[in-house]
Amino acid sequence: MKAKIRKIVTFVEETHTEMGQAVNPPTRRAAAAAVIENPFAGRFVQDLTELMEIGEELGALLTERAVTALGIPGPSAESYGKAAAVGENGELEHAAALLHPKLGTPVRKVLGKGAALIPSSKKRGGPGVSLDIPLGHKDAAFVRSHFDGMEIRLHDAPRANEILVAIAVTDSGRPLPRVGGLTKDQIRGEDGLR
């Protein structure tokens, strides 16, 4: 692996009730996060290819971890998202290099499909910074019941020369969706939008 990984953390959340209403089956989402060394910390580097390649590796690794943590086959995943937090000696562009050029293809390979844009967020921060990973339906971005987000944080990352990279995957939407819009049974799945 090109990535120098210090740690990998997985989170699984299951919601069983909300405002006293049963959520049946419980909604479930998982996030897998890796803390890696930032090869470009502390200096300006024009060519970010190395981080793009690391992004490709992590796209496969973290999606596998998240799906395994949910205990579902990849194609059963319903929504996804990605995010990165760059330690203080790095640039926001380092997060962009990890997330945007090459990370998506292996994610979609694990999940079978994934016609929709993978929603993303990025920031710079210190250890313990929270990361709100946006979530959207993997085949149709306009499915309103699946607009969501998942907060994660690692108390000891990212250190100044590290980057925290995370992928979130769900097998469901929000716990009690009731604000209308496109539903998942109406997905045409041609353009990634509807």
Partner 1 sequence: MPEVQLRKRVVIVEEVFHEGGPIATKPLRRGAALAVIHNPFAGKYASEIAGFMEDLKPLGLEMAKSLVTALGDDPTVVEGYGKGAIVGQTGELEHGALWHVPGGYAMREILGGAKAIVPSTKKVGGPGTRLDVPITHIKASYVRSHFDSMEVGIADAPRADEILLALVMTTGPRIHARVGGLKASEIKGEDGLR
Residues engaged in binding partner 1 (CB under 8 A)? 5-18, 26, 69, 130, 151, 153-155
Least CB distance to partner 1 at residue 56 (A): 20
Q: Which is nearer to partner 1, 56 or 162 (CB)?
A: 162
Residue 191's contacts (CB-CB under 8 Å, 6 or more residues apart) are 115
- Closest approach, Cβ 180 to partner 1, in A, equals 23
Q: Compare residues 61 and 99 and give the one whose CB is closer to partner 1.
A: 61
Is the CB of residue 17 less than 8 Å from the CB of residue 41?
no
C-alpha angle with apex 94: 77 to 61, nearest 5 degrees?
35
Compute the least distance from the CB of residue 15 to partner 1, in Å: 5
Question: At a CB cut-off of 8 Å and minimum separation 6, what does 150 contact?
Answer: 11, 13, 29, 31, 81, 132, 133, 135, 168
From the CB of 186, what's the least distance to partner 1, in Å? 28
Which CB, 5 or 193, lies closer to partner 1?
A: 5
Taking the least distance from each CB to partner 1, the nearer of 14 and 191 is 14
Q: For tokens 């799906």, name the residue.
A: 67
